[in-house]
Amino acid sequence: MSRLNLDDFSDLIERPDGGIRRAAEERRERLVVPAGALGRLDELAEWLSAAQAEVPARAVGRPRAVLFAGDHGVARLGVSAREYGTAHELVRAVLEGERPVAVLARAEGVPVRIVDAGLDCDEGLLPEEVVRHRVRRGCGSIGSEDALTVEEAERAVRLGMAVADEEADSGTDLVVLGDLSVGGTTAAAVLVAALCGTDASVVTGRGGVRIDDLAWMRKCAAVRDALRRARPVLGDQLELLAAVGGADLAAMTGFLLQSSVRRMPVILDGVVSAACGMVAQRAAFRSPDWWLAGQLSGEPAQAKALDRLAMVPLLDHGVTVGEGAGAMLALPLVRAAARLAAELPERTAEPAAAE
């Protein structure tokens, strides 16, 4: 098999249908509620119409939460509030319905799929359907070594592509995308800093579970060291993911690209999915047209990434937990926009004035 070239996605991904979007805008002008009175819900409905190629947008009937899981070796440096090798505990808690994303998904009737791309735990600790695609156990500490080999990075990207195909083939009509990782925000910060050309201190945040000042300084140092290793491979997205990403981030990047190929809309969660979105955008500039930013997490790297992606988050409630929870909170807004567009009646014609 020849090596995967992510730049090939540029020829495979088309924009959502512009003609359909214009038709949705024209229909919106005819509804009984004045244009603009529903704020961003109008924009959401028009975006969804273009993605679905239908006017009006149909209801989101088969959404799915897809969470990619992995442990990042950089967490051994004390950059996270969680210890390295404990991401499987998050996975188990989600499976048992004990994390925010699981509670919100249950309330919305949304099934949750977890994909183990690079957890560092015995496979017997989790169900087979979670661990069966694992690329490798954990990843390297990106400040001093590659996260993956290039071959492993390609396997991870292809894993994400395969998951996207499976979801599209099964009828999933919108994906809530998130991660279950320890150390993932550090790797994401490196990707964003490298792709934006900024320094470590500009992109380094406190993580989903807020870290103290000493841990933040350790995290800054790790991001700085990893940036030195990322800059020489900026010209090749696969090598970049291998050097400073990780199996979960590489898989998420593949998922985003293939979802855009399959015309399957995605709601991004926090800094990890935003960073993967930047890598995907670099490969295929039209791919972000198929995504929404669910929420602002407070991570500075996410704000930088969303600015580069020209995306405005739907929510800003100070939710920092990650794991797809912020994106799940945005799902009811998307569903509401679709229903309003489909079910609000058009204005009746004004009667002709008597002569």
Residues that are catalytic: 323
Contacts of residue 170, defined as CB under 8 A and 6 or more positions apart, other chains included, come to none
Amino acid at 26: E
Order of all β-strands in the sheet with 112-118:
112-118, 63-71, 174-182, 266-268, 291-293
Contact 322, 297 (CB under 8 A): yes
Radius of gyration of the chain (CA): 21
Residues 139 and 210: their CA atoms lie apart, in Å, by: 23
H or E element at residue 175: strand 174-182
Cis peptide before 288 (omega within 30 of 0): no
Q: Angle at the Cα of 139 (from 252 to 112), degrees rounded to 5?
A: 35
Q: Tokens representing 141?
A: 């500490």
Pairing of strands 63-71, 266-268: unpaired
Q: 238-272 burial by CB neighbour count: b if 16+ within 10 A, else e?
A: bbbbbbbbbbbbbbbbbbbbbbbbbbbbbbbbbbb
Pairing of strands 266-268, 174-182: parallel
Contacts of residue 161, defined as CB under 8 A and 6 or more positions apart, other chains included, come to 254, 255, 257, 258
Neighbours of 171 (CB within 10 A): 9
Contacts of residue 283, defined as CB under 8 A and 6 or more positions apart, other chains included, come to 6, 7, 9, 10, 237, 257
